[in-house]
Amino acid sequence: MTKIATQSLEQQLRTLATRLRGEISGLRNEAFSAEIGLSDMPSEQADLASLQSEEDRVRAFLGNEQLILKEVEDALERVEQGTYGQCTTCGKTIAHDRLESIPYTRFCVTCAQRAETARVS
């Protein structure tokens, strides 16, 4: 991969990391507000169930965003180490189109498919 391509993808990763940090902060505030709302609300079953469902949704989304942020930060570390764009499983070069689609990916298509198959089995 060329230095210009790597720099472009690195910038995408940095932009994504900034956006994710903002979203995570907002989701944490939303989750905290939902917790306060649950403790302050009267114990009407429908209201509590609705609030609990919303809190669960926010927590799940927050967890997902945190996982993606970790992957982005790991990708930025690989950029610093000079290993960005190499599959962490087999060491082969990850296709540029794949990195354009998922700039934080650590796997080539073949290894990603193998990991998904093993996870589902």
> Who contacts 100 (Cβ-Cβ below 8 Å, separation ≥6)?
9
Q: Whole-angstrom Cα distance, residue 117 to residue 120?
A: 5
Check if the beta carbon of residue 87 is closer than 8 Å to that of residue 108.
yes
Q: Whole-angstrom Cα distance, residue 46 to residue 57?
A: 16
Per-residue pLDDT of 2-55, as tens digits, reads 899 999 999 999 999 999 999 999 988 877 665 555 555 555 665 667 767 878
In this prediction the pTM is 0.80
- CATH number, domain 3-120, options 1.10.287.3510, 1.10.10.10, 1.20.120.910, 1.10.3720.10: 1.20.120.910
Residue written as token pair 């799940």 = 60
Check if the beta carbon of residue 27 is closer than 8 Å to that of residue 65.
yes
pLDDT at 1: 83
In the chain, alpha helices (H): 3-40, 45-81, 96-101, 109-120
